[in-house]
Amino acid sequence: MIAVAEVPSALKSGVGFPSSLLAKDTSNKTVFPVFTPGAGLGMPEFEGAADAVMVADPSTFRVLPWAHKAGWLLCDLRFPGSSNAGKPVPFDTRALLKDALAKLAQAGYGLLAGLEVEFHIFRIADPRLRPEDAGQPGSPPAVELLNTGYQLLSEARFDQLEPALEILRANLAGLGLPLRSFECEFGPSQAEITLSAQEGLAAADTMLLFRSAAKQALRRHGYHATFMCRPKLPNVMSSGWHLHQSLFALSNKKNSFVPKEKDQPLSPIGQHYLSGLLEHARAACAFATPTVNGYKRYRPYSLAPERVIWGRDSRGAMLRVLGGPGDPATRIENRIGEPGANPYLYFASQLHAGLDGIERKLPLPPASRTPYEEEKADLLPRSLAEALGYLKASKRLRAAMGSAFVDYYCRIKQAEVERFDHRNKEGADEREVSEWEHREYFDLL
């Protein structure tokens, strides 16, 4: 937060911040030895937790409806100093998505993305703000349900959620976000929001702002919104983030996935893109589902994916194809993501995978009609550690996102895995949510 009088200077010169913020895991513990030569990253610019600079993107400015005379700006990250002035910070995830979109534009396409996000809203029973509750991370709040489930889209259940959802609706509308619907999801105290399709960077920015707005605006009214995939609370359901995506031709803005033949699910370009998503799905999991907790969602017969397959309008498939000939809304819905994922990395991994399919003209395997019974289909990773292994070995994502970034990301996430392994009891059921996960993610995400 900066004072109004400082805004002109900030827009001109940027705002400094400790570069060590980019070296922390989900507990805010610094993973790299930043007080050694190269800061453990092979980058002298990070030594000693030296400053980097946030350079505001004025196009992202919003006035926050829930905060008194406060505005919000997204920033790009640069290094300061005479020798590095203006040099991009290589771990700026928004810049990584911009790079992916630039590569897509070189191929003649733009990305259109629609967001479908499940999450939980609880009433705070005890905020747990005693000194002994502090920590890295601290104690999460104790909560009560707003409804008891399990009735998807139920009018009766919706009325119990409506007071909280109306607070959220008013604030999101005040931000100008492209709201489509609010829904009563299947589980207790679970909701879903859908947002209209936007072009790539704007859609990723919207996801970031939506999550921040939901947590802040609802907290002021005594509610706790969480984008943790599966909280450790009795009877709750997992939450997912379904990413709807299509490509449009930059030459005429028309959807490039619409097929011309009646028996085809997608155009040839769309089929190659879909094949690329399948080819790199297990490596991309590390970006779409970046927490230990998120892998507790991949269960058979659960409306969540379990295998690397695609299907026509199948909610059990990892990749669900919607639309067809003559339908300008033809698209691919990737059901793999968790709602706490970094949107820039989720989007970028999709683009690099899909572009590989287009460049190599990868053939599309047959659609699945039995998504939980395809014995020949690869299983999705069963843990974050397994997903990181696929990412480390991915030649495509290393080449596209840079080996330095992939190694940096994997080390941060590996620290998270190691802390979980250290604290989690031996012999615990790996499919069940641990106390460690609830403390780590319930308040953070």
pLDDT in tens, the chain (445 residues): 899 999 999 999 899 999 999 999 999 999 999 999 999 988 888 999 999 999 999 999 999 999 999 999 999 999 886 555 678 899 999 999 999 999 999 999 999 999 999 999 999 999 999 999 999 999 999 999 999 988 788 888 888 999 999 999 999 999 999 999 999 998 999 999 999 999 999 999 999 999 999 999 999 999 999 999 999 999 999 999 999 999 999 999 999 999 998 889 999 999 999 999 999 999 999 999 999 999 999 887 777 888 999 999 888 899 999 999 999 999 999 999 999 999 999 999 999 999 999 999 999 999 888 878 877 889 999 999 999 999 999 999 999 999 999 999 999 999 999 999 877 665 556 678 999 999 999 999 9
At residue 83, the pLDDT reads 55
Let me know: does 405 contact 91? Beta carbons within 8 Å.
yes
Beta bridge partners of 241: 117, 337
Instruction: Give the contacts of 100 (CB within 8 A, at least 6 positions apart).
Output: 347, 348, 351, 352, 400
At residue 158, the pLDDT reads 86
What's the fold here for domain 4-88?
Answer: Ubiquitin-like (UB roll) (3.10.20)
Q: b vs e for 140-158, b when ≥16 Cβ sit within 10 Å of the residue's Cβ?
A: bbebebbbebebeebeebb
Q: Using CA atoms, how far apart are residues 107 and 359, in angstroms rounded to an integer? A: 9
- Exposure of 23 by Cβ count < 10 A (0-12 exposed, 13-18 middle, 19+ buried)? buried
How many beta carbons lie within 10 A of that of residue 248, not counting itself? 19
DSSP three-state, residue 379: strand
Question: Nearest Cα to 75, choosing from 194, 205, 197?
Answer: 205
What's the fold here for domain 98-441?
Answer: Creatine Kinase; Chain A, domain 2 (3.30.590)
Residue in the structure block whose two tokens are 């959220």 = 168
Cα separation values, 428 from 287, 298, 393, 414, 423, Å: 26, 18, 29, 20, 11
Amino acid at 309: I
Let me know: does 53 contact 78? Beta carbons within 8 Å.
yes
What is the value of pTM for the model shown?
0.95
At residue 134, the pLDDT reads 93
According to CATH, where is 3.10.20 located in the chain? 4-88
According to CATH, where is 3.30.590.10 located in the chain? 98-441
Give the chain's radius of gyration (CA, Å).
Answer: 22
Q: Using CA atoms, how far apart are residues 265 and 7, in angstroms rounded to an integer? A: 51
Name the strand (E) or helix (H) holding 159: helix 155-174
